[in-house]
Structure 1
Amino acid sequence: MSTPTTRRSLREQAALSGAPAMAPAPAAPRRRGGVGRMLGDLALWIAAVAGVVCIVLVILAMTANITLIMFRTGSMSPTIPAGSVAVVQRVEAAQVQVGDVVTVDREGELPVTHRVTAIEPGASDAERVITMRGDANATDDPFPYPVTSVRTVLFSIPGIASVIVGMGDPWVLGGLTAGATVLVIWAFWPRSGSAASRRQDGVV
């Protein structure tokens, strides 16, 4: 019956034969980072997603006439409550239908966003005269609106208008820029122990 070979027996055989003993394999370097590393990576992903969203919005604004509007009042409640942000697309007046929620630009006044209740022909083929009413209002708006184009609401997100307004504050923008800079520097800063691990691997 043969004796099982062990590391000790191999070392004894090497010592008797004069051969150098086998050096134990270096332990693999431990990965560092922990919770801080995970939180940093998460913050980087969030910043990257936010950057992609901004790029997409710019592209849509330039190619598809899609922009954002904010609702300061509750005239469209409960469909679109105050503090909501809506994604709108500019279309020709001929495409508007009764029941659509549209934004009409008014010269010298703030735009109004209400639901279309009636449509009449205008002074030209491209013009329409539309009557609108807010969902929270009991009567139509005082005057109809002659328009050649409007911004129709595609969908809305409640409660984020204050966030977008806050993002436009110079102090907030400065803080976000500084935070993003710190994240990028932290992500690419050499980790401690990396040089030692390279030396252990034989890499200079």
Structure 2
Amino acid sequence: MTAPEWIEDEMTSQTQEQRPARRPLALRLGKLLFSFTAWTASIAAALMLLTIIIFLAAPRVMGLEGLVVLTGSMEPEIPVGGMVFIKDVDPNSIHTGDVITYGEASISTTHRVVEVVNDPVDGLLFRTKGDNNDAVDTLPVLAASVRGKASFTLPQVGYLVDALKDRGNFYLFIGLPAALLVLNELVNIARDMRNPGTARSTRKEASA
């Protein structure tokens, strides 16, 4: 037994009213692109933050200090833009051929020891030279000025770490992706509030 035509027409009309209108293709593609950009930027920001933790925080646990290399005096072994990790040592354990960092925390130098001198007046001294320099450094290094001995180096990492030390760059590389991700979630919430039927349908399909 078939239903009257007017009943079928009414059921068809109700079905069409319940079915959400399809958004324009350009709008859907734009939302997809925005979501992809937000997630990609957030993943990149997380990797940058992880880099800082690994190359700055983790070495301190092992008693190391990471320093960004700004000049090419020790190239090719320690390239510009790399990071050298130094460890505090007893100056008496430093020998010719070791690479040491000396000077103040704000202005320090990392060069190779070419001679160890026991001066009767100044005590233990180190004559140093950059591998890429032609001459030995003019002034010897006092034992008290030694900050540590180089343990290992990592190329290129210093560029990223140095850039993220700047507050503006930190907000740009870390804060902006986080803001994009939050904005993307807010857009999704607003869409679900405008179209609750679509949200319920999507959740049912996901659980099916």
Answer yes or no: same fold by TM over 0.5: yes
Which residue is equivalent to 1:115? Answer: 112
Which residue is equivalent to 2:98? Answer: 100
2:132 is aligned, of 132, 136, 139, to 136
Deviation at 1:114, TM superposition (A): 0.5
Is residue 2:195 matched to residue 1:195? no
Which residue is equivalent to 1:72? Answer: 70
| 1:77–1:136 contact (8 Å) kept in structure 2 | yes
**Per-residue deviation, residues 33-76 of structure 1 (Å, max 9, x unmatched):** 86765554443333323323333422432x33322223332221
Larger-gyration structure (1/2):
1
Partners of 1:104 and 1:198 in 2: CA distance: 62
Which secondary structure does the structure 1 equivalent of 2:168 belong to?
helix
Partners of 1:35 and 1:87 in 2: CA distance: 41
Q: Which has the higher contact order (CA 8 A, sep 6+)?
A: 2
Deviation at 1:128, TM superposition (A): 3.9
Partners of 1:55 and 1:142 in 2: CA distance: 37
Partners of 2:47 and 2:202 in 1: CA distance: 33
Deviation at 1:133, TM superposition (A): 0.9
- CA shift in 2, pair 1:95/1:159, >3 Å: same
Structure 1: tracts of 5 or more residues without a match:
1-31
Partners of 1:49 and 1:83 in 2: CA distance: 19
Which residue is equivalent to 2:44? Answer: 46
| 1:93–1:150 contact (8 Å) kept in structure 2 | no
Deviation at 1:111, TM superposition (A): 1.6
Total equivalences in the alignment: 167
- CA shift in 2, pair 1:50/1:122, >3 Å: farther
**Per-residue deviation, residues 72-106 of structure 1 (Å, max 9, x unmatched):** 32221232233433222222223323212111125
Which residue is equivalent to 2:143? Answer: 147
Partners of 2:182 and 2:108 in 1: CA distance: 43
Partners of 1:130 and 1:202 in 2: CA distance: 71
Partners of 2:103 and 2:141 in 1: CA distance: 9
Deviates more, 1:32-41 or 1:173-182: 32-41
| 1:99–1:115 contact (8 Å) kept in structure 2 | yes
Partners of 1:79 and 1:201 in 2: CA distance: 55
1:165-176 equivalences under 5 Å are: 165-176=162-173
Partners of 2:112 and 2:177 in 1: CA distance: 41
Which secondary structure does the structure 2 equivalent of 1:91 belong to?
coil
> Pairwise CA RMSD of aligned residues?
3.7
- CA shift in 2, pair 1:53/1:187, >3 Å: farther
| 1:122–1:146 contact (8 Å) kept in structure 2 | no
Is residue 2:87 matched to residue 1:82? no
- CA shift in 2, pair 1:40/1:121, >3 Å: same
Which structure has the highest helix share of the two? 2
